[in-house]
Amino acid sequence: MEAVAMAKPERGKVIALVGNPNSGKTSIFNDLTGARQHVGNWPGVTVEKKEGKLSYQGQTFNIVDLPGTYSLGAYSEDELIARNFILFDKPEAVINVVDASNLERNLYLTTQLLEMGANVVVALNMVDEARARKIEINIPRLAQALGVPVVPTVATRNEGIKELVATVAKRVQETICQPLKVNYGREIENELDKLEQIIKQDAKLAAKYPPRWLAIKLLEDDERLEAELQKEGARQVLDAATKSKKQLHEILGEEVEAIIADRRYGLINGLVKEAVTRRQTLEERLTLSDKIDSIVTNRYLGLPIFLLAMWAVFQFTFKLGDPMIGWVESAFEGLTGLATGWLEALGAPQLLTSFIADGIIGGLGSVLVFIPPIFLLFLAISLLEDSGYMARAAYIMDRLMHALGLHGKSFVPLLIGFGCNVPGIMATRTLESRQDRLITILINPLMSCTARLPVYVLFTGAFFTAKQGWVIFSLYLLGIVLAIIMGKIFKTFLFKGDTAPFVMELPPYRVPTLKGTLIHMWERGSSFIRKAGTVIVGAVVLIWILSNLPLGVAYASQESLIGRLGTILAPVFKPAGFGTWEAAVALVFGILAKEVVVGTLGVLYGVEEDGLTAAIAQSWTPLSAYAFMVMTLIYIPCVAAIGAIRRETNSWGWTAFAIGYSLLLGWVMAVLVFQVGRLLGLG
């Protein structure tokens, strides 16, 4: 995915969107921008960046959706990106999305934004849920206390969005508000005043950072900010901060950072008491979400329910997607026939006809027929995410992972890896410990991403039609089990140490909106189509060329260059039951992108009238097919994932280790499946 320039566009004012995870920030972003949005990466990092356009009364606003975060402490990459964008890019306004039913938690981020001097408009979202829980919020009083506009919204129903846009448009024309000044107590305030005066003496530093905010961050022991000041040569400021922290610790007897956080929460509690009335009895405070969680996250029922949910996802995907595959396959067969007939009628050379029909249409078509199940899978996962269940899945798996010595928070990047291993690897940046990050990065490629799905669908369609969902479910489950086992091995022998506790907020259950679900499905599924138009086309063309060289050999024969390569490698895979040169070549090219495995087989076998599925059924057995799918699941990550591992570990050594161990593990598992299956009479 290409990086998107971070510079503020000239064509409109920039509005930043920031909020806690599960606050409805994404829904508001979709309401504001609709289809006028695009996704890239933040420059220099691999964290996703979302931008969109909003037009209002002749003005164009560029909406930048910052990563969801609980604070601006810069402990994780997401927090650092959000903080730096507001601090250095200086957006004309910041829409702070706040969950009305969880004000205490959400307003902590609000106070940090106001302390930075950001031009904030609070979108008080999910006011319907607050009302349902008998939480009454005096919005004018809250706005007065915060000193910024507060607009009630229900993003899932598009309520309050027009008012929000009007308020933001007005806000960008006004003078930026003065930073919020939280009273941190006499002792801390005295030291803040001293630091602030020293910072103001450095004109360059005072222009770059709000002086009081910088003084607070230094007392909070912000290591990243201290490192930046070291580079800028602000030695006097750093020495003064060290002296202040030491003196405060001696006077107060505890860490200054903890006292500052307590004071912020003290202010928030006062705001909430002033503006919020709760009319709930103790029994009424047990929400519907609490009652569902008593079953869904139950110690004994949670894991079986999670596995049942995953099984249901695969049943939905393949029961509904199977007939759609047939429709797309028929369309490509017809297209191949039309292209062949048209080219022959024009008297085109046989080589050109083969290139277009067998190479481009046949190879690409053998991959694109799997668009229906991929989109259906993303649809099902989006429904689970938007409903709030996926957060429960992480909570449930936390217990199992802790029992094995792994960090419970690691399950979130692993869960993302089911969509694509690259963002899953990137998501490890939320883990504080380098050891936890390395373990999670190393096992993430064992999560079966959707790129492997075309391989599964092809082979299960040929051999396991009646049990297709069950067989594919078993492969996903195998990836999870292997990831847990390898994580335990790495933890025991390579990364010894205690595991940090994992605390995760469980958002209330919500009914997913059609618009939000479809946008999420398209965002993920469209990447498969883009890859098909670039990487996969390039790969199948290269394979076709190698299948026809040297000139004069039979197409895709063992005498061709690609046939010779496959013949050399085929004996390595013979113990696993798929020792054909075509299989060997498919695995080699699958390193470019896992979807290319199917495209390669499509080119090598040729897409005849009975299709690639029939060709596979004639050349393989059910046991060798399952062993091949196991190999595809485990062996070397794709090039994009290898690149992500290199960037995130900053080590060629760990990258080589990830490649080597996964290749060996894939081969061993494939051989075990085939050989044990033969012993059991399944050959």
What is the C-alpha to C-alpha distance for residues 484 and 411, in angstroms, rounded to an integer? 10
Sign of CA dihedral 352, 355, 358, 361: negative
- Beta bridge partners, 32, equal none
- Looking at the chain, the whole-number percentage of residues with pLDDT higher than 70 is 87
Nearest C-alpha neighbor of 654 from the set 672, 667, 637, 669: 637
How far, CA to CA in Å, does 597 sit from each of 65, 286, 366, 423, 516? 36, 51, 10, 22, 32
* 8 Å CB contact between 414 and 437: no
Name the residue among 84, 47, 112, 78 with its Cα closest to residue 432. 78
Q: Which residues are annotated as a binding site?
A: 19-26, 30, 33-34, 44-48, 65-68, 125-128, 154-156
CA–CA gap between residue 96 and residue 125 (Å, rounded): 10
Contacts of 198 (CB under 8 A, 6+ apart): 236, 237, 240
Task: Report the b/e string of 29-68 with b at 16+ CB within 10 A.
Answer: bbbbbeeebeeeebeebbbbbbbbbbeeeeeebbbbbbbb
Rounded mean pLDDT for each run of 10 residues along the chain, 683 residues in total? 37 87 90 74 60 90 91 78 91 95 91 94 94 89 92 93 95 79 87 92 90 93 88 90 89 84 85 81 61 84 87 81 79 83 86 78 71 82 82 74 66 77 75 80 92 90 88 92 90 72 62 79 75 70 82 77 91 93 91 84 66 84 96 91 85 95 97 95 80
Q: How far is CA 252 from the centre of its chain?
A: 42
CB 620 within 8 A of CB 660: no
**Annotated binding residues for Mg(2+), as ranges?**
30, 33-34
DSSP run (H or E) holding 188: helix 186-201
Nearest CA among 116, 97, 117 for reference residue 107: 97
Residues 161, 32: contact at Cβ < 8 Å? yes
Rounded-to-integer distance, Cα 310 and Cα 392, Å: 13
Secondary structure (DSSP) of 293-347:
HHHHT-TTTHHHHHHHHHHHHHHHHHHHHHHHHHHHHHHHHHHHHHHHHHHHHTT
3-class DSSP state of 116: coil
Containing 14, the helix (H) or strand (E) segment is strand 13-19
* Phi, psi angle pair for 449, to nearest 5°: -75, 165
The continuous run of DSSP H or E covering 660 comes out as helix 652-679
Give the separation between CA 639 and CA 425, rounded to whole angstroms: 13
- What are 667's two structure tokens? 């081969």
Cβ proximity of 66 and 88 under 8 Å: no
Find all residues with CB under 8 Å of 46, minimum gap 6, and list them.
422, 423, 426, 644, 647, 648
CB atoms within 10 A of CB 270: 11
Residues forming the annotated binding site for GTP?
A: 19-26, 44-48, 65-68, 125-128, 154-156
- What are the CA-CA distances from residue 235 to residues 202, 230, 557, 562, 615 (Å)? 11, 7, 70, 62, 71
Distances (CA, A) of 242 to 28, 234, 245, 246, 249: 42, 13, 5, 6, 11
Q: Is 128 exposed, middle or buried (0-12, 13-18, 19+ CB in 10 A)?
A: middle
| Predicted pLDDT at 653 | 95
Q: Is 431 helix (H, G, I), strand (E, B) or coil?
A: coil
- The CB density around residue 326, as the number of other CB atoms within 10 Å, is 15
Distance between CA 521 and CA 377 in Å, rounded? 9
CB of 659 closer than 8 Å to CB of 637? yes
Interatomic CA distance for residues 520 and 593, integer angstroms: 22
Q: ∠ at Cα 164 (161, 166), nearest 5°? A: 110
> What pLDDT score does 41 carry?
56
* Backbone CA torsion sign across 373, 375, 377, 383: negative
Of 119, 92, 133, 125, nearest to 107 (Cα)? 125
Question: Is 543:604 a contact under the CB 8 Å cutoff?
Answer: yes
CB 96 within 8 A of CB 109: yes
